Each structure stands twice: as C-alpha cells, then as structure tokens.
Structure 1
C-alpha cells in the first residue's frame, strides 16, 4: 500500500501501533489518547484554515507516542526522539512519501514537553498544541491522577492542598501537578484555537482544585 492519503496513513498507523503494543497498559498514553490527539490536531488545523500538510499531520499525530516511556524512566526526555526515528523507519517501509518524512520526524520530535525542541513548522506547532490539550480539562485531570497513582503519589497534602505554605512537589502529591505544570501549559500554546480551548479547560482545573479544598475541610 502506498501511503498517499490520510485514510491510508491512518490505516497503516493503526496497524503499526497494534504491532508495537507491548502490553504495558499505560492508560494515559493508550490508543484512546492517540485518537484524541489526532482529532484535536484536525480540529485546530481546520479552525486555522487547513495550513498543514494533511499527510504529515496525520502521520505525526498517529505515531507521536510510538515509543512511550514512564515518567520515572531516566530516558524519558528521549521518548519523542525515539518515536520520531521509529515512525520514519516504519513509514518509509510502507511507502510514505520520502520528501515528507523529515517534516513528520520534526513534528514528532518537537511535540514533547520534556524534549524541549522548538517547533519549526506549522505541523509541529499544531501537533504540540493538540497533545498538550489532552493534559487539560476533565480528561487531563483523569490522566494526571492516573499517572500519579502509577508513581505512588498521594492525592494531595491534607494539611495544605494547594501548597500555599510549602514547596510544591508533584511527585509527592497529584494535585500539585496542576500549578506545577498544567496551568502553565496554556502559556506555551502556539495557535489561537488551542489557546481558546485551553482557557476553558484551565478554568475547570482551577475550579476542581478549589472544590478539593472545600470538601477536604
């Protein structure tokens, strides 16, 4: 199969992801997460007037987490580089246009928060925004607490849930991850559509944190 349409790219990407599944069962970086990122990237591109190369954006969005490492893994910062390398190798074998592979590689490489690679293309910016959007709102909150549980963190500090009189520590307390990272994500977004969605989702996170304090007494 020659991967010359988004539909064919999606079909092959799904097969690649299924073959790559190592049974780790990380619910924060599963196929459902990938699907949400794909749909959000398409939405942002659409609201921008479709400036992205559809093949590049589709391939990068589907394969952006091809190599997913736990947050505690010392090689975590290289996960996006490894994903980009593997994605390009697999796409090349399945007939993806050679002249577009570099753009796919860059978009996947730059999407990661921990990698710290500046986005040089519109596809990279849209993918990064779409991936970061999944860390906000109700789903982002669920992923936050799920990941904290996998790392044996507590829900929150019962004596000071919002960390107003102590140093924030999101490895110890899940709720601390909101001000440590999630609230700040909105400031890193590249596109106007993403910033508009993020504003509403951050407001939800702040309301949740306030409700925690109210219920904790």
Structure 2
C-alpha cells in the first residue's frame, strides 16, 4: 500500500500522517504494525471526540508510539516507550514543531506503555494510553495474544491444566495464561470515562473468547 493511500486513512491528519508513516512501525511485528497504529488512531479519535484535548498532538503520538520496536520477551522491553519518545522528538523537531508540542507528544508516548508503568499526566497522554490498551482487549486483543505467542514460540495452553488450577501461571509458555496475567487486568486501568466505557464491552468479549476456547478444548 502506498504512503498517500495510508495517509488518507488518518483523516483529518493526512499531511501529518504522510510525514510520520515512514517512521511509524519499526520491525516486522504484526501486532505493532501499521494496522495496529490505524486501529489505535481510530480509538484515539473516538475518545478525543468526547474528551477534548489537542487532537494534533494526540495524532502525532499515536503515529509514533511504536516507532522503536522491542520484543515482548526482551529484557529491555520496559525501555521501549522511552526510546520511542526520544526518536519521535527528533523526528518532530526536524519537522519544525514547537518545543512544548514535542514535549507533550513525547510524554504521551513515554507513558502509554503497560511495561513502562509510568502515570500519564496530560489528557493527550491518557487518551493515547486508553486507545492503545483498547487494542489489547476484545477480539483483536485475543488475536494479538495468540499471534505474539506464536511469534515467541509459546504453546497455546497447558493440555493437563489449561486454567492453571494447580500450577503457577506462565504466559511465556502458554498463550491463554496471558489473559489472566495481564489482559483481564487492563479494563480496570483506563484513564478517561470514554475509554472506560469502550473497555467494558471489549473486556466482556475477551472473557467470551476464553470461555469458548476452554469449552472447545
């Protein structure tokens, strides 16, 4: 797909998207590719329409929030969002952005990550975090969970104790353990009222996915 066609998908920020898409998705991780960025953008714009805030800063933060790739199983995973914020700052500086807008975008990127465990302090940062976490729950979240498990060489489940009734949860070995260790916890941490409402429906879908999976095995 050409850059201009992709940029149009990010309306009304087509020009910004055209500038930033070449930097947006780093590496070959299909759970953090341009499709993920577009889903997060749509989530973010839906939240911003209700919550307000600076849509341009939010759009730039969405487009660049995964501009540095660090694998989920890397010991440096917690540094990914900080590294992305640093890279994003340089990109926006070259585009002539004002220092305060660069700082606001960088803060949103730095604090969006679950692994970084840093509190978002601005509305734009809260909206980016919510928009990104919406993509980790629901049907897409389940699909991404299984995709990442395959990418990292994990099994789908423990065939003798799938729900970890008599063993410790281990989401590095079994994909469905990740539902309990992380995914089911995300809905409680949303920052905006709009994000929380959207998360409730996706959380229910995630529970349904696991219930159907367990029923079939």
Residues 69 and 76 of structure 1 are in contact (CA less than 8 Å); yes or no, is this contact kept in structure 2?
yes
Calculate the TM-score normalised by the size of structure 1.
0.90
Structure 1 CA distance, aligned partners of 2:204 and 2:160? 24
Gaps of 5+ in 1: none
Structure 2 CA distance, aligned partners of 1:163 and 1:199? 25
Q: Secondary structure at the match of 1:174?
A: coil
Q: How does 1:41-56 map to 2 (within 5 A)?
A: 41-48=44-51, 50=52, 52-56=53-57
Could you tell me how far 1:191 is from its partner in structure 2? 1.1
Residues 6 and 54 of structure 1 are in contact (CA less than 8 Å); yes or no, is this contact kept in structure 2?
no
Q: Could you give the per-residue CA deviations for residues 119-174 of structure 1, whole angstroms, max 9, x where no partner exists?
A: 11000000000001100111111100010111111101111222222211111110
- 2:18 aligned partner: 11
Residues 135 and 143 of structure 1 are in contact (CA less than 8 Å); yes or no, is this contact kept in structure 2?
yes
Q: Give the stretch that moved more between structures: 101-110 or 8-17.
A: 8-17
1:89 aligns with 2:98: no
1:127 aligns with 2:134: no
Could you tell me how far 1:47 is from its partner in structure 2? 2.0
- 1:34 aligned partner: 37
Could you tell me how far 1:84 is from its partner in structure 2? 0.3
Structural RMSD (CA):
1.4
Structure 1 CA distance, aligned partners of 2:176 and 2:34? 25
Structure 2 CA distance, aligned partners of 1:54 and 1:210? 38
Structure 1 CA distance, aligned partners of 2:14 and 2:89? 18
Structure 1 CA distance, aligned partners of 2:67 and 2:94? 16
Calculate the TM-score normalised by the size of structure 2.
0.90
Q: Could you give the per-residue CA deviations for residues 158-200 of structure 1, whole angstroms, max 9, x where no partner exists?
A: 1122222221111111001001100100011111111112111
Structure 2 CA distance, aligned partners of 1:6 and 1:214? 44
- 1:143 aligned partner: 144
- 1:167 aligned partner: 168
Residues 133 and 198 of structure 1 are in contact (CA less than 8 Å); yes or no, is this contact kept in structure 2?
yes
Q: Secondary structure at the match of 2:31?
A: coil
